Each structure stands twice: as structure tokens, then as C-alpha cells.
Chain A
């Protein structure tokens, strides 16, 4: 049996292959995120006049809600087609399944960011391309994926998984939302790193703690 590093790579390749063939998750996420941006634009523009202050919130809410669609699909697909039972019947380490799910979700969210940022720049008429935004986006996406993967795996066994995932996941992600929105706002306002560095640290600490804790407990969610 290959080591965990190879297991993760194989499973990651498997996830990407499924996505490449079906193009299901990324398309749904993108259309949903785009709809969210448009809804926010219509809802708030007339009241504020200044769209720039809305950008951090709109960006992260779009990413958060889109991630729920992706996570739900990723886990329910494995359950529906008994792929998980197939994987578990091999001597795979459950940790490698968790890491591969986190990597795939992070990858898809980063791809979504790449499409969403230029679209938002056009639709909201303000540039949001800043180099400092890259670590914030990556750390935020890892946080969403690390917590999202374990919660999605937890609720995948239940009848009402579509409703339970956002109900349980969103409160758990509050520190990531606060950190990412505040840091993105500071970057767009071109403030110095000292003013938002703490927030990047909080999101990084959250990522480390939740990845570690979830990795330790993931096997409980896929047993039986």
C-alpha cells in the first residue's frame, strides 16, 4: 500500500478527474456566486451609493455560500454511488480521504476566486486586484475547506444534509468570515499590513487548529 502522501495524491487526482469530467461543482459554484453578487448589488447599491465598501462582504459571502454547494455535492456523490464504501474497503487511511477533500475544495474555491474577481471588478466598477489579497484568499479557502470537509462528511449520512450543512458550518466559520472580511476591507482601502496582520494570523491559527482537530476525528464520521 502506498504511503499517505501517495494516497492523498491519488485521491486528489480522482476528485479532479470527476470534476473535470462532470464540471458539476465549479459551474454550479460560479453561477451561484455570480447570482449572489448581482443580488447584493441590486439590494444595496441604491442605499449606499459607494459600492467599494460592499466588496469584502459580497466577495466572502459569495465564496462561503458557494462552498456549501460544492461540499454538499462532493460528499453526497460519494455516498449515493457507494464510492465511499469502495474506498473504505481498501486499506486507505481515512486521513488521506480528508486531506484530499480539503485540497479539492480549496483548489475549487481558488479557481472560483480567479473567475469571480474579474467579474466583480467589471460588475461593481472597482478594481479588486491586490497582491496582498492572495494570502487572505488562500487562507480563507483553506479554513472553509478544512471545517467544511468534516461537517459535510458528518451530515452526509443524515436525511436532511442539505439543510444541516449550512446550519452547522456557518457558525463554526465565523472567525474565518470576520478575519477575511476585515483583512480584505483593509487591503482594498490600501491600509498598511500592521492594521490587518492580526486578522491574517487569526485565520491562519484557525486553519491549523481546525485542520489538525478535524484530521484527528475524521475517521469517526465515515465509520460503519
Chain B
């Protein structure tokens, strides 16, 4: 990570920053939750060892949907208030959303193979909606990376950020209706309540992955701020050159 020029002299005087401390706590949380979910949590009666994917798949699915919701809210706020901090939040949340959705899709596929007997099921509305959501927000990030970074790009990206979110429930509902034409997955719904021996490692995994995502988010935000700072400095240098 690069540092802002004015922060350079202070860097060595603070060897352990707040972020490093939070990073260490996150690492400990990840190790404990991994141990609990893989070793101490009991094997599920029907799915056996395959059910362990649940501890990474479900927390990240929550995070993925939450990130996309943040993209929507931040994009709306940016369009309303024209404050670049909302745009930064939207961009970072979209990246986090894409990262977690990718892991969710892959882990879901790995889980589906032994349990449903298929890597992929077109008859599950959640699966198809998640894939479509992934495609939309990949388009959103492509739009941002393939166009010049200016105020117009930021506005048009925010418009796509809002439209993409509006599309999610409509896609879910239409795929859900479409599934009436197709056989449902074998283990789609379970009405059993999870026991505490499963619930505790699950909640801990959720906290751990949330912390990982927060660390990534903070690092990414600092990087974006540095880029903004760099742009300002570049403009100053250009200005001085002309004077």
C-alpha cells in the first residue's frame, strides 16, 4: 500500500497501526472459526463432510447481498448529494460484492455436486439470480475500468449501480416462477432448526468473514484516497509547470 506524502514522516513512528491490530484480531477469528467449523462442529447426518462448505458459503452469501445493497444505497446517495465519498464506497462495495459472489458461486457449485448430484441447477432461483447479479456488477466494474475516470463516468456508473439492484428482485421472482416448469433440487428446503453446535461455528465464521471483508474494505478505501491525493498532486505539478 502506498502512503500519502504528508503521512510519510509519521509512518515509522507507528509500527503497529490500528489496521494491523484489527488484522491480527481478524486472523485469530478466522483460525478459530475454521477450527470450530471443520473440527469441533458435528458431521451432518445426511450430507456428511460436504456440509462443511456451509460455513464459508452462507456467511459470504449474506456478505455478497449486503455489499450489493450498499452499492445501491451509496450510488443513490452519490446521485443525490454528488459527494465522492459515496462513490468510493459504492465502488469498493461492488468489488467486495464481486469477490464474495464469486466464492459463493464456486463453493455452492462444489456443495451442489455431492448433495444435489449436479454442479449447477437452473431450477434454483437463488443460484440463477446470484449469477445474473454477478454478471451485472462485473459489467458495472468493467464500465468503471474501461472509461476515463471523470465525474461523468462516476455518474453513469451510479446509474447502473441503481438499475442493477432494482433488477435483482425481478430476476429472482421471474426465475422462481420459471422453476415451476423444472424439477426442484432434491434438498432445496429444510425446515429443521440448526442446533447450537452448528449455530455457534456458523456465527463465528460469519464474524470472521465479515472482519476479513472489513479489512479488505479499509485497505481498499485508503488506496482509493491515495489515488485521489495523487491526482490532486499531479494537477498541482501540471499547474506549476505552466506557471
Instruction: Mark A residues whose CB is within 8 Å of B.
Output: 147, 150-151, 154-155, 157-160, 163-164, 167-168, 170-172, 174-175, 178-179, 182, 198-199, 202, 205-206, 209-210, 213-214, 217, 220-221, 223-224
Contacts and interface: CB of A to CB of B under 8 A. Distances in A.
Contacts of A179: 174
B170 A175 contact: yes
B171 interface: yes
B159 A171 contact: no
Contact of B132 (A163, A174, A210): A174
B197 to A, nearest CB: 40
Given A164-B146, A167-B142, A168-B139, A202 B163 contact: no
Nearest to B79: A220
B147 interface: yes
Contact of B143 (A164, A199, A220, A224): A164
A206 B171 CA distance: 10
Interface string B146-182: 1110111101101110111011001101110110010
Q: Interface majority SS on A: helix, strand, loop or mixed?
A: helix
B155 A159 contact: no
A217 B159 contact: yes
A154 B79 CA distance: 14
B140 interface: yes
B164 A172 contact: yes
A76 B135 CA distance: 24
Nearest to B167: A172
A155 B132 contact: no
10 contacts: A157-B153, A164-B146, A168-B139, A168-B142, A172-B167, A175-B173, A178-B178, A198-B177, A202-B170, A217-B162
A174 B136 CA distance: 11
A206 B170 contact: yes
Given A154-B143, A171-B167, A220-B155, 6 more contacts: A150-B163, A155-B156, A158-B153, A170-B135, A175-B171, A220-B159
Contacts of A209: 166, 170
